[in-house]
Amino acid sequence: MEPHSPVLSDSRVLIRPLRREDLDAAEHWPPGTVPYGGASVEPRSAIEKDLYMQICRWPQRLELSLEGVGGMLIGRMHLRDIRLERREARLGIMLGAPWIGQGYGTAAMRLFLPHFFGPLAFERMLLDVEAANERALRLYQSLGFQPAGEFWREGGATGSLAWLDDPRYQHLAACFRIEGDVFWTRCYELDLRAADLAASPPNSSAGKPTSES
């Protein structure tokens, strides 16, 4: 079994291999206006982008792009840490701010999971998610992902946590730990196995589309 770049589509989203021009397009996504309200892509030089595309060809990776209605680039998806001998890989997915909360993340996951466990013949998908990202957590739990661990990740300067002063987000304070001028973010590791997916497939009523992602 060798991972290959699929082209998958339904009425909401198309999943296809990453293209060089996608790196340019993602830099023009507007920033989110709320915490975890969309991916923010830092500009890169042309040389950095060319190097990134070379790295994407490594056998331990599979880099994909998400298109919405009309062919607009709305997000990215990847598999990393591909371990063929164990039939497992780690998933990452991000959406631009304009497409958060419209069901695109749910649609993309439901489209990709049967391909991951079917034609690609993997048996376990892993991912990690920040504990404060409640929207993403709800999505993964609705798809059957189970807890597999917990860890802390360095997040950056403490000044970027000013949004926690907003009463709407104060309940998330326990998801962060401050050490000096740096904060750390609590993260959960989740996994989904082929047997779990068979018991509760993505298109079942348990994973009904919502507006959460």
**In contact, 112 and 62? CB cutoff 8 Å:** no
Q: Which residue in this structure is represented by tokens 């489209």?
A: 111
Kindly tell me if the per-residue pLDDT of 62 is higher than 70: yes
Mean pLDDT, rounded, of the chain: 89
pLDDT score of 204: 47
**In contact, 13 and 111? CB cutoff 8 Å:** yes
Q: Which residue in this structure is represented by tokens 């991912």?
A: 127
pLDDT score of 104: 95
Q: CA 57 to CA 183: how far, in whole Å?
A: 34
**Residues 151-184 pLDDT 10s:** 999 988 888 899 999 999 999 999 999 999 999 9
Query: What percent of the chain is predicted at pLDDT more than 70?
Result: 90
**Residues 14-42 pLDDT 10s:** 999 999 999 999 999 998 888 888 777 77
pLDDT score of 198: 66
**Residues 202-212 pLDDT 10s:** 654 333 333 34
pLDDT score of 200: 65
**In contact, 88 and 124? CB cutoff 8 Å:** yes
Q: How confident is the model at residue 199 (pLDDT cuts 50, 70, 90)?
A: low
Q: Return the sign of the alpha-carbon dihedral for residues 202, 139, 108, 93.
A: negative
Kindly tell me if the per-residue pLDDT of 197 is higher than 80: no
Q: CA 44 to CA 55: how far, in whole Å?
A: 15
pLDDT score of 10: 92
pTM of this structure: 0.87
pLDDT score of 9: 94
Start-to-end C-alpha separation, the chain = 31
Helix (H) or strand (E) holding 142: helix 134-142
What mean pLDDT comes out for the span 92-119? Answer: 94
Architecture of domain 1-122: 3-Layer(aba) Sandwich (3.40)
Per domain, the residue ranges of the chain are 1-122, 123-201
Q: Which residues, in sequence order, are bridge partners of residue 64?
A: 17, 77
Q: How confident is the model at residue 4 (pLDDT cuts 50, 70, 90)?
A: low
CA trace torsion 79, 83, 84, 87 (10° rounding):
-80
Distant-in-sequence, close-in-space partners of 188: CB < 8 Å, separation ≥ 6: 128, 129, 130, 131, 137, 147, 149, 150
